[in-house]
Structure 1
C-alpha cells in the first residue's frame, strides 16, 4: 500500500465498494480500508448449511424495477427471484383470520396516510403520535415498525419516514444479496482488518491513523455506520462536532434474523408468511420457505431484538422456536433445527442494522452528507435522503461521493 494516495475510502460496505470502483475507473490511486476481515459491511451472505445461502444482512432488492443495482447483479451472473414478497401474502396464522388481517392492513394504510399528511404540513414529531388512540392494532403496528425501521414508531421522525421512496417492487438474489455486493469489490485495492481511528485534516494532506499505521491522502470518503461517528470510534482532528451530532440523530435501528431448518418442509407453503403473536409488539415475522427452500427466516426488530441480543447467543433462536411452537404446535416445533442467528447490535463495526432519523432530526441526513473542506466526503445509507436503509441508497451515495472527490481533485 502506498504511503500517499489520491483518495482513501474508509469502509468497504456497499457505499465504499461503489466509491472505490468509480475512483479506480477514473485512474486515481485509491484504496479502501475495511476494519472487518471481509467486505460487504451490513450485506453478508453465509452458508447456513451445505448449499443453503442466507443473507444475514440486507436481503431484498427494494424498488427493484428502478434499482441501479438490478442490471449489474444480473449481468454478474446472479439470479434475481421476482416472486412477490411474503409480506404481501395472507398470513397463515390460525389465530389471525382474513378479516383481522384486512383490518390490520387498513390500520397500517390509515396510519401512513396520517403520517404523510403531517409531513406535508412540515410536522416532525414522533410517528407514534399518529397511532389511533386505543386501537387494537397499535401493538402490531409497532412490531411492523420494528422490522421496517428497526425501531418502534416513538423513535421515528415523521418527516424522515415520509421522505423514503419505494416503488413497491421487491426482488431477491437467489445466491445472496451480500454475495452479489461482495462480488463487485475491487479486492486488489482493499485492505482488510484495517480500522481507521483518526483522520487529521489540519495540514495540506490528510493523515489517517489506522490499525496498520499512518498514511496520507489528498481526500477521503467516509463510509462508516453512524454509531462510529456519533461515539467517536472514528475521530477527526480537529473535531467535527456537527458530524457527530448529526450521526447521533440518525441511530441504527435493529432488525435481526433467525434461520431455522425444517425437517418436514412439505407442510408449509413456499414463500409463505406467518406473524408471531399479534397481540404484542415483542413478536416475530416469519418468512416460510424462502425460494422454496427448507428453512424459515424469522425477523425480530427494535426493543425486542435488542433485549434478546442482550441475553446472549441463542436467546433469539429460542424465542423464535418457542413462538413458532405456540402457533403451530409441539410437533412442528420438534421439526425445527437452529441454523444461524444475527446480532447486529453487538457487532462492533455496525452496532445496528440501518438508520432512522429520530423525531426532529430529519435534516441530519443532509448535514451528515455535506463535504468538509471539499476533501472529506461522506457516504452510506444514512446520508441518502430518499433511499436510506437500503443497499442501493448506500451504493448511490458512494458513487456520488466519488464523483465529488474526483471533481475536487481535478480543480486542485
Structure 2
C-alpha cells in the first residue's frame, strides 16, 4: 500500500463505494480503507444453500428512484419487482381484520397529527394518544423503520423521510449486499481489515494512521457510522468536535435479523408475512418464504432488537420460533431450524443499524454533511437529509461527498 494519495475514503459500505465509483477515472489517486473483513458495511449478503440472505439492507426502498436500481440494471443484476406482503397478516393469524384496520388507522392518524400539529417538543411520542390501544403497535413500526421507540424520534426527521419515500419496494434475489460489494470499481485501490486509528491535520492535507501504516492525503472522505464518529474508535482532530456532536445527535437505532430454515412439510406459504405479537413494541416481523426460498426472515426493531441483543442469539431464535408456533400451531416447531443472525449493535466498527435524529436535532444531518476546511468530507446515510437509514441514501451521500472533494482539489 502506497503512503500518499489525493483522496482516502474511510469505510467500504454503500457510501464509500459510491464515492469510489464517482472518483473512478478522475485521475485522482484514491484508496478506500475498510476496517472489516469485507466490503458492504451495513449491507451483507450471506450465501445459504444457493440463495443470498441479506443480514442488513434487503429491499430497494423507493426503488423507482433508488440509485442502486440503476446500478443493478446496468450490471445485468436481476430485480424482483413484486410488491412486499407487508401489512397483510397471513390468514389473519392472531390479528383479526378488525384489529388490523384499527392498528393501521392508529398509525396513519399518528402521522397525520405530527404533520398537521407537530408538538413543540419535536418528540414523536408526544403525538401519541395516551388512551390508544395500539401505541405498542406504533412503537413496533417505528422500531422497524427507525430502530427506536417514538420517544427518541424527531418529528421533523420522521416526516422528512415519510414525505420523500415512495411506495415502490423491490428486491435483489442475488442479494443487496452482494450488489453493493461487487460495485467497487476495479481502478480504485481498496484494502479490507485495515482500520483507521486516527485522523490528523497537517499543513498540506491529512495524515491517517492505520493498522498497515500511515497514509497522507490531500483530502479524506469519512463514511463511517455516527456511532463510530461520536465514539472513540477513531481519534479525530479537536476541530471536528462540532461534527462529533452532530453525530451524537444522530444515534444508530437497533435493528437485527435472524433467519430460520424450513425443513420438510410446513404450514408456511411463500411470500407471506406475520407480526409475531401485533400489539407489542417488541414484535418481530416474519417474512415467510421470501422469493419462494425455504426460510423465514425475522426482523426485530427498536425494543424487539434490544431484547434480542440482551437475551442473546439462542434466546432470540427461541422467541421467534415460539411466536410462529403460537400462530401456526405446535406442528410447525419441528420444521423450524436456526440458520444465522445479525449482530450490528455489537460490532464496534458499526455500532447499530441506521441513524435517527433525536427530538430537536433533525438539523444535525446538515451539520454532519458539511466539509471541514476542504480537507475532511463526510458521507454516509446519516448525512442524507431525507433518505437517511437507506442504502440509496448512503449512495447519494457518497456521490455528493466525492463531488465536493473533486471541486476542492480543482480549486
Same fold? TM cut 0.5 = yes
Residue 32 (structure 2) aligns with:
32
Q: CA deviation at 1:239?
A: 4.2
Q: Tell me how far apart the structure 2 counterparts of residues 27 and 153 of structure 1 sit (CA, whole Å).
A: 47
The question of whether the paired residues in 1 share the 8 Å contact of 2:266 and 2:335 is answered with: no
1:365 matches 2:362: no
- Structure-1 residue corresponding to 2:130: 133
Q: How far off is 1:77 after superposition?
A: 2.3
Q: Is the 8 A contact 2:259 2:298 kept in 1?
A: yes
Question: In 2, distance between residues paired with 1:128 and 1:268?
Answer: 36
Greater CA drift, 186-195 or 207-216: 186-195
| 8 Å CA contact 2:85, 2:272 repeated in 1 | yes
Report deviation, 1:125: 1.9
4+ runs deviating over 4 angstroms: none
How far residue 315 of structure 1 moved from its aligned partner, in angstroms, is 2.2
State the number of aligned residues: 408
Alignment of 1:291-330 (within 5 A): 291-330=291-330
- Which residue does 2:216 correspond to in 1? 216
The equivalent of 2:13 in structure 1 is 13
Q: Normalization by structure 2: what TM-score?
A: 0.96
Aligned pairs (5 A) from 1:143-222: 143-164=140-161, 165-186=164-185, 189-222=189-222
Sort the Cα spacing of 1:395 and 1:63 in 2 relative to 1 into closer, same or farther, 3 A: same
Contact 2:137 2:278 in 1 (8 A): yes
Q: 1:88: Cα distance to partner?
A: 4.2
CA contact 1:92–1:273 (8 Å) conserved in 2: no
Given that 2:246 and 2:368 are in contact with CA atoms closer than 8 Å, whether structure 1 keeps it comes out as yes
- Report if the CA contact (8 A) 1:202-1:238 is conserved: no
Aligned to 1:398: 398
Question: Any conservation in 2 of the 1:53–1:176 contact (CA below 8 Å)?
Answer: yes
Q: How well do the aligned residues superpose, as a CA RMSD in angstroms?
A: 1.5
**Deviation digits for residues 167-199 of structure 1 (CA, Å, limit 9, x no counterpart):** 110000011100111110135511111111111
Over 3 Å counting, the alpha-carbon distance change for 1:386 and 1:107 in structure 2 is same
CA distance in 2, matches of 1:309, 1:279: 21
Q: Paired residue for 2:249?
A: 249
CA distance in 1, matches of 2:127, 2:113: 6
Structure 2: tracts of 5 or more residues without a match: none
Q: How far does residue 395 in structure 1 lie from its aligned partner after superposition?
A: 0.4
Instruction: Quote the Cα distance in structure 2 between the aligned partners of 1:202 and 1:232.
Output: 21
Question: Given the superposition, is the C-alpha separation of residues 74 and 89 from structure 1 closer, same or farther in structure 2, using an over 3 Å criterion?
Answer: farther
- Whether the 8 Å CA contact 2:12–2:34 is kept in 1: the answer is yes
C-alpha contact (below 8 Å) 1:147/1:300 kept by paired residues? yes
| Larger displacement relative to structure 2 (253-262 or 94-103) | 94-103
Residues 64-102 of structure 1 deviation map (CA, whole Å, 9 limit, x = unaligned):
111122122122122111111121434434221112111
| Alpha-carbon distance in 1 for matches of 2:168, 2:205 | 45
> 2:185, 2:253 → 1: CA distance?
29
Question: Which residue in the other structure is 2:102 paired with?
Answer: 103
Change in CA separation of 1:89 and 1:83 when aligned onto 2, cut-off 3 Å: farther
Partner of 1:407: 407
